[in-house]
């Protein structure tokens, strides 16, 4: 079986590649050149596709004795990930570029090119498990709950899962680092990436301002009273507390949070913590890891990569979902992904379009 192993230059993808070789697969390493951002080419970048990362991946491939290539997907990444990122923020939503990249680049563009070249599967260093079901491949949470990455893979469908491999799903991070050290890989102690790869300096607000320009508007309270001004709605997300710079203290004396963003009027609304609690979500662009599960069913929903899942009633119709959670979620923003589970099995996902509390208007 011929496998393309996506090698980011980090310890996880390096050990995943080594395990594939040990299991007898015919493995070729490939590093994806995604960003043309100058800072992403610096050796000190904390993203996941810097020039230093490409060099690290090549050194690992040489150590393991496999062919290695760098494929330039930067234009498609700019169009489908960075472009979507900018459009979503300009519309007052909060996107997740990592899920978008998995959906459009790592398991679409890469798999498409790999299959055209005669490869059978794409492998990555994600912490998730693939389980053979009744004629299908099921996507499950990883053994290491602290490192589980099934959430960011929730956008994959069955046609992609049957051509995917996740060799690290049954391991802990400590085990992976120890294995890398035993193999003599220089990346054994390399820190994990912590930034959006195309914003390696971590200044998301500055990046958005540079790309979208200043777009001032008012900051108001729940009653519509003007409290201040902002330089662009894209500098804010639901649940944000820092950076509001309001000169007028709240009547209650409690901290204020962003609770609403209206792109039409460029208005940011702030309120108390309780105004962040929602238990009704609607979603668009539904994807399913197997066949669509239509109608209403009980499961769990997760709205952030490291958030705890909560019990919910999920109702699916066409490409839309309605999700009613048993306990409130705090600070959920339109544009985020909701990933639905049946215990530890990923069922599907959607992009959150609106949020609300029972008896309260939709945002």
Active site residue ranges: 101, 197
Distance CA 1, CA 164 (A): 12
Long-range contacts at 353-358 (CB < 8 A, ≥ 24 apart):
353/282, 353/283, 353/284, 354/281, 354/282, 355/238, 355/278, 355/280, 355/281, 356/278, 356/279, 356/280, 357/277, 357/278, 357/279, 357/280, 357/328, 358/279, 358/280
Phi-psi domain of 175 (left: phi exceeds 0; alpha: psi -120 through 50; beta: other): alpha
Q: Lay out the sheet containing 217-220: strands in order across.
A: 226-230, 217-220, 267-271, 257-262
Tell me the three state secondary structure of residue 247: coil
Distance CA 305, CA 44 (A): 25
258: nearest Cα among 137, 93, 43:
93
* Beta partners for residue 281, in sequence order: 323, 355
Q: What is the 3-state secondary structure (H, E, C) of 93-140?
A: CCCCHHHHHHHHHHHHHHHHHHHHCCCCEEECCCCEEEEECCCCEEEE
Distance CA 326, CA 146 (A): 24
Phi, psi of 220 (to 5 degrees): -125, 160
Alpha carbon of 226 to those of 214, 248, 336: distances in Å? 19, 10, 28
Is the Cβ–Cβ distance between 205 and 199 less than 8 Å?
no
């Amino acid at each position: 079986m011929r496998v393309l192993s996506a090698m980011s230059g980090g310890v996880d993808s390096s050990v995943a590649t080594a395990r594939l070789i040990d299991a007898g697969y015919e493995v070729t390493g490939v590093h994806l050149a995604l960003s043309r951002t100058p800072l992403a080419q610096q050796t000190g970048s904390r993203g996941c596709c810097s020039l230093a990362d490409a060099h690290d991946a090549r050194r690992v491939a040489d150590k393991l004795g496999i062919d290695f290539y760098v494929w330039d997907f930067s234009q498609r990444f700019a169009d489908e990930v960075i472009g979507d990122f900018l459009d979503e923020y300009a519309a007052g939503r909060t996107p997740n570029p990592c899920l978008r990249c998995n959906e459009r680049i790592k398991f679409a563009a890469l798999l498409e090119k790999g299959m055209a070249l005669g490869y059978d599967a794409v492998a990555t260093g994600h912490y998730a498990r693939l389980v053979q079901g009744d004629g299908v491949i099921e996507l499950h949470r990883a053994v290491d709950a602290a490192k589980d990455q099934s959430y960011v893979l929730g956008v994959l469908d069955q046609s992609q899962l049957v051509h995917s491999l996740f060799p690290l799903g049954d391991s802990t991070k400590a085990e992976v680092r120890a294995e890398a050290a035993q193999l003599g890989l220089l990346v054994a102690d390399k820190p994990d990436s912590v930034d959006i790869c195309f914003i390696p300096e971590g200044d998301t607000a500055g990046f958005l301002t540079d790309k979208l320009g200043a777009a001032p508007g008012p900051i108001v309270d729940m009653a519509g009273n003007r409290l201040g001004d902002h330089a662009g709605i894209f500098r804010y997300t639901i649940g944000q507390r820092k950076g509001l710079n309001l000169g007028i203290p709240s009547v209650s004396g409690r901290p204020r949070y962003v609770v609403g963003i209206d792109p039409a009027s460029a208005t940011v609304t702030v309120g108390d913590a309780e105004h962040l609690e929602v238990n009704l979500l609607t979603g668009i662009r539904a994807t399913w890891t197997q066949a669509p599960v239509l109608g209403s069913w009980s499961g769990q929903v997760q709205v952030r990569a490291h958030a705890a899942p909560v019990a919910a009633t999920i109702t699916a119709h066409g490409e839309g979902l309605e999700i009613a959670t048993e306990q409130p979620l705090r600070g959920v923003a339109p544009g985020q992904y909701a990933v639905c589970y049946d215990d530890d099995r990923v069922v599907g996902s959607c992009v959150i379009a609106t949020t609300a509390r029972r008896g309260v208007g939709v945002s």
